[in-house]
Amino acid sequence: MLKALIDIVFPPMCLLCGERSPEKGFCDGCGGLVEKERIRPPLCIVCGTPFPSAKGVDHACGRCVEEPPSFTSARSAFVFEGKVLEAVHKLKYGGDTALAGPLASLLSAAHLPEGLSMVVPVPLHPARLKERGFNQSLLIARELSRNYGLSLVYDRLKRARDTGQQVGLKAAERKKNVSGAFTLDGGSFFKGRKVLLVDDVTTTGATLNECAKVLKKAGAEVIAITVARAVKL
Ligand SMILES: [Zn+2]
Ligand SMILES: [Zn+2]
Protein backbone atom coordinates (compact mmCIF):
# COMPACT_ATOMS: atom_id res chain seq x y z
CA MET A 1 0.00 0.00 0.00
CA LEU A 2 2.69 2.44 1.08
CA LYS A 3 4.93 1.30 -1.80
CA ALA A 4 2.06 1.80 -4.27
CA LEU A 5 1.57 5.32 -2.96
CA ILE A 6 5.27 6.13 -3.13
CA ASP A 7 5.35 4.77 -6.71
CA ILE A 8 2.56 7.18 -7.67
CA VAL A 9 4.24 10.21 -6.11
CA PHE A 10 7.77 9.21 -7.10
CA PRO A 11 7.49 6.81 -10.05
CA PRO A 12 10.55 4.55 -10.33
CA MET A 13 12.98 5.79 -12.93
CA CYS A 14 15.44 3.79 -14.98
CA LEU A 15 18.90 4.42 -13.55
CA LEU A 16 20.39 4.52 -17.04
CA CYS A 17 18.03 6.51 -19.26
CA GLY A 18 15.82 8.26 -16.70
CA GLU A 19 12.61 6.94 -18.30
CA ARG A 20 9.84 5.57 -16.14
CA SER A 21 10.56 2.04 -15.18
CA PRO A 22 8.24 -0.66 -13.84
CA GLU A 23 10.90 -1.74 -11.36
CA LYS A 24 13.62 -0.03 -9.40
CA GLY A 25 16.71 -0.34 -11.55
CA PHE A 26 16.58 -0.57 -15.32
CA CYS A 27 13.69 -0.03 -17.74
CA ASP A 28 12.81 -2.88 -20.13
CA GLY A 29 14.80 -1.28 -22.93
CA CYS A 30 17.99 -0.75 -20.93
CA GLY A 31 17.55 -4.06 -19.11
CA GLY A 32 17.39 -5.83 -22.47
CA LEU A 33 20.56 -4.09 -23.65
CA VAL A 34 22.32 -5.07 -20.42
CA GLU A 35 21.25 -8.72 -20.91
CA LYS A 36 22.68 -8.63 -24.43
CA GLU A 37 26.14 -8.45 -22.83
CA ARG A 38 25.66 -11.54 -20.64
CA ILE A 39 28.57 -13.97 -20.92
CA ARG A 40 27.55 -17.36 -22.26
CA PRO A 41 29.40 -20.65 -22.40
CA PRO A 42 31.69 -22.09 -23.55
CA LEU A 43 34.14 -20.58 -21.12
CA CYS A 44 37.23 -21.45 -19.10
CA ILE A 45 36.15 -23.42 -16.02
CA VAL A 46 38.86 -21.69 -13.98
CA CYS A 47 39.17 -18.03 -14.97
CA GLY A 48 35.80 -17.74 -16.73
CA THR A 49 37.15 -16.24 -19.96
CA PRO A 50 34.62 -16.93 -22.71
CA PHE A 51 35.96 -18.80 -25.73
CA PRO A 52 35.56 -17.07 -29.07
CA SER A 53 33.66 -19.92 -30.69
CA ALA A 54 30.04 -20.33 -29.58
CA LYS A 55 30.41 -24.09 -29.99
CA GLY A 56 32.18 -26.59 -27.76
CA VAL A 57 32.23 -27.31 -24.05
CA ASP A 58 33.73 -25.53 -21.04
CA HIS A 59 37.33 -26.44 -20.30
CA ALA A 60 40.41 -24.89 -18.69
CA CYS A 61 42.11 -22.33 -20.95
CA GLY A 62 45.78 -22.58 -21.84
CA ARG A 63 46.75 -19.78 -19.49
CA CYS A 64 45.10 -21.45 -16.47
CA VAL A 65 46.69 -24.81 -17.30
CA GLU A 66 50.15 -23.27 -17.63
CA GLU A 67 49.92 -21.02 -14.62
CA PRO A 68 46.99 -21.97 -12.34
CA PRO A 69 45.63 -18.89 -10.54
CA SER A 70 45.22 -18.67 -6.75
CA PHE A 71 41.42 -18.60 -6.98
CA THR A 72 39.41 -21.79 -7.54
CA SER A 73 37.24 -20.06 -10.09
CA ALA A 74 36.40 -16.59 -11.37
CA ARG A 75 33.19 -15.63 -13.13
CA SER A 76 31.82 -12.42 -14.60
CA ALA A 77 28.19 -11.89 -15.49
CA PHE A 78 28.73 -9.57 -18.46
CA VAL A 79 31.11 -8.43 -21.13
CA PHE A 80 32.29 -4.91 -20.27
CA GLU A 81 30.61 -3.23 -23.24
CA GLY A 82 27.57 -1.15 -24.12
CA LYS A 83 25.01 -0.56 -21.38
CA VAL A 84 27.01 -2.59 -18.84
CA LEU A 85 30.04 -0.37 -19.33
CA GLU A 86 27.77 2.67 -19.07
CA ALA A 87 26.24 1.41 -15.82
CA VAL A 88 29.60 0.59 -14.22
CA HIS A 89 31.07 3.96 -15.26
CA LYS A 90 28.02 5.77 -13.89
CA LEU A 91 28.49 3.99 -10.59
CA LYS A 92 32.25 4.31 -10.42
CA TYR A 93 32.99 7.72 -11.90
CA GLY A 94 29.54 9.34 -11.79
CA GLY A 95 29.00 8.48 -8.14
CA ASP A 96 25.58 7.00 -8.89
CA THR A 97 25.74 4.53 -6.01
CA ALA A 98 22.09 3.50 -6.47
CA LEU A 99 23.36 1.33 -9.34
CA ALA A 100 25.14 -1.07 -6.98
CA GLY A 101 21.88 -2.84 -6.05
CA PRO A 102 20.60 -3.56 -9.57
CA LEU A 103 24.08 -4.58 -10.74
CA ALA A 104 24.53 -6.97 -7.81
CA SER A 105 21.13 -8.54 -8.39
CA LEU A 106 22.12 -9.28 -12.00
CA LEU A 107 24.92 -11.52 -10.73
CA SER A 108 22.74 -14.59 -10.71
CA ALA A 109 22.79 -17.15 -7.94
CA ALA A 110 24.03 -19.66 -10.49
CA HIS A 111 27.47 -18.07 -10.15
CA LEU A 112 27.67 -18.82 -6.46
CA PRO A 113 28.86 -22.20 -5.24
CA GLU A 114 27.77 -23.89 -2.01
CA GLY A 115 29.52 -23.40 1.30
CA LEU A 116 30.53 -19.75 1.02
CA SER A 117 31.12 -18.15 4.38
CA MET A 118 31.79 -14.52 3.56
CA VAL A 119 31.96 -11.81 0.91
CA VAL A 120 35.18 -9.82 0.58
CA PRO A 121 35.40 -6.84 -1.79
CA VAL A 122 38.62 -5.97 -3.65
CA PRO A 123 39.83 -2.98 -1.61
CA LEU A 124 40.75 0.46 -2.88
CA HIS A 125 43.90 2.18 -1.67
CA PRO A 126 43.00 4.75 1.03
CA ALA A 127 44.14 7.57 -1.28
CA ARG A 128 41.73 6.39 -4.03
CA LEU A 129 38.97 5.91 -1.50
CA LYS A 130 39.42 9.48 -0.33
CA GLU A 131 39.35 10.72 -3.90
CA ARG A 132 36.24 8.74 -4.94
CA GLY A 133 34.44 8.74 -1.62
CA PHE A 134 33.33 5.12 -1.91
CA ASN A 135 34.52 1.72 -3.05
CA GLN A 136 32.18 0.47 -5.79
CA SER A 137 33.27 -3.14 -5.15
CA LEU A 138 32.30 -2.81 -1.50
CA LEU A 139 28.86 -1.47 -2.47
CA ILE A 140 28.29 -4.44 -4.80
CA ALA A 141 29.69 -6.87 -2.20
CA ARG A 142 27.36 -5.43 0.44
CA GLU A 143 24.35 -6.06 -1.79
CA LEU A 144 25.51 -9.62 -2.45
CA SER A 145 26.03 -10.25 1.26
CA ARG A 146 22.47 -9.10 1.90
CA ASN A 147 20.99 -11.06 -1.01
CA TYR A 148 22.66 -14.31 0.00
CA GLY A 149 22.85 -13.93 3.77
CA LEU A 150 26.66 -13.99 3.89
CA SER A 151 28.79 -11.91 6.19
CA LEU A 152 30.60 -8.92 4.67
CA VAL A 153 34.28 -8.67 5.56
CA TYR A 154 35.68 -5.45 4.17
CA ASP A 155 38.37 -4.39 6.63
CA ARG A 156 40.85 -7.25 6.58
CA LEU A 157 42.03 -7.41 2.98
CA LYS A 158 43.95 -4.17 2.33
CA ARG A 159 45.58 -2.50 -0.62
CA ALA A 160 48.89 -1.51 0.88
CA ARG A 161 50.32 0.00 -2.27
CA ASP A 162 48.60 2.49 -4.56
CA THR A 163 48.72 0.76 -7.92
CA GLY A 164 47.20 3.70 -9.80
CA GLN A 165 45.13 3.20 -12.92
CA GLN A 166 45.61 -0.10 -14.71
CA VAL A 167 43.87 1.19 -17.84
CA GLY A 168 46.17 1.00 -20.84
CA LEU A 169 48.58 -1.48 -19.26
CA LYS A 170 49.30 -4.78 -20.98
CA ALA A 171 48.73 -8.12 -19.19
CA ALA A 172 52.34 -8.53 -18.05
CA GLU A 173 52.50 -4.91 -16.87
CA ARG A 174 49.25 -5.28 -14.92
CA LYS A 175 50.57 -8.38 -13.22
CA LYS A 176 53.77 -6.62 -12.23
CA ASN A 177 51.90 -3.50 -11.18
CA VAL A 178 49.65 -5.29 -8.67
CA SER A 179 52.24 -7.80 -7.48
CA GLY A 180 52.44 -7.67 -3.68
CA ALA A 181 49.95 -4.80 -3.48
CA PHE A 182 47.58 -6.54 -1.04
CA THR A 183 47.98 -7.50 2.60
CA LEU A 184 45.77 -9.30 5.07
CA ASP A 185 44.96 -8.39 8.67
CA GLY A 186 44.40 -11.32 11.02
CA GLY A 187 45.14 -14.06 8.49
CA SER A 188 44.00 -16.88 10.82
CA PHE A 189 40.44 -15.54 10.50
CA PHE A 190 40.37 -16.90 6.95
CA LYS A 191 41.73 -20.36 7.61
CA GLY A 192 39.49 -23.05 6.12
CA ARG A 193 36.89 -20.49 4.96
CA LYS A 194 35.38 -20.21 1.50
CA VAL A 195 35.54 -16.59 0.40
CA LEU A 196 33.55 -14.83 -2.33
CA LEU A 197 35.90 -12.16 -3.66
CA VAL A 198 34.04 -9.34 -5.42
CA ASP A 199 35.16 -6.67 -7.88
CA ASP A 200 33.29 -4.51 -10.37
CA VAL A 201 35.35 -5.29 -13.46
CA THR A 202 38.16 -7.65 -14.29
CA THR A 203 40.47 -7.38 -17.27
CA THR A 204 43.35 -9.82 -17.07
CA GLY A 205 42.42 -11.22 -13.66
CA ALA A 206 45.71 -9.92 -12.20
CA THR A 207 44.06 -8.00 -9.35
CA LEU A 208 41.73 -10.89 -8.44
CA ASN A 209 44.67 -13.26 -8.50
CA GLU A 210 46.80 -11.06 -6.24
CA CYS A 211 43.98 -10.79 -3.71
CA ALA A 212 43.36 -14.53 -3.96
CA LYS A 213 47.06 -15.16 -3.40
CA VAL A 214 47.11 -13.56 0.07
CA LEU A 215 43.78 -15.15 1.03
CA LYS A 216 44.93 -18.57 -0.12
CA LYS A 217 48.17 -18.17 1.79
CA ALA A 218 46.02 -17.61 4.91
CA GLY A 219 44.23 -20.90 4.23
CA ALA A 220 41.09 -19.68 2.45
CA GLU A 221 39.56 -20.95 -0.75
CA VAL A 222 38.65 -18.11 -3.11
CA ILE A 223 35.77 -17.88 -5.55
CA ALA A 224 35.97 -14.61 -7.48
CA ILE A 225 33.05 -12.81 -9.07
CA THR A 226 32.82 -9.57 -11.01
CA VAL A 227 29.97 -7.75 -12.69
CA ALA A 228 31.86 -7.42 -15.95
CA ARG A 229 34.89 -8.59 -17.83
CA ALA A 230 36.81 -6.66 -20.45
CA VAL A 231 37.14 -9.35 -23.06
CA LYS A 232 39.10 -7.48 -25.72
CA LEU A 233 42.51 -6.45 -24.49
ZN1 LIG B 1 16.34 2.81 -19.39
ZN1 LIG C 1 41.35 -19.70 -17.80
pLDDT (0 to 100) of residue 222: 98
pTM for this prediction: 0.92
> How much distance in Å is there from the Cα of 161 to the middle of ligand 1?
38
Residue type, 101: G
For the ranges 71-85, 117-131, 159-173, 201-215, which has the lowest average pLDDT? Answer: 159-173
**Which residues make up the environment of ion ligand 2, defined by Cβ < 5 Å?**
44, 46-47, 61, 64
Instruction: Check pLDDT > 80 for residue 168.
Output: no
Is 12 within 8 Å of 34 (Cβ atoms)? no
The pLDDT tens digits for 212-232 are: 999 999 999 999 999 999 986
Ligand that lies nearest to the alpha carbon of residue 32, given by its number in the listed order: 1
Q: Coil, helix or strand for 107?
A: coil
- How many Cβ atoms are within 10 Å of 39's Cβ, its own excluded? 16
Is 42 within 8 Å of 72 (Cβ atoms)? no
> How much distance in Å is there from the Cα of 143 to the middle of ligand 1?
21
Ordered structural domains, the chain, with CATH: 67-229 (3.40.50.2020)
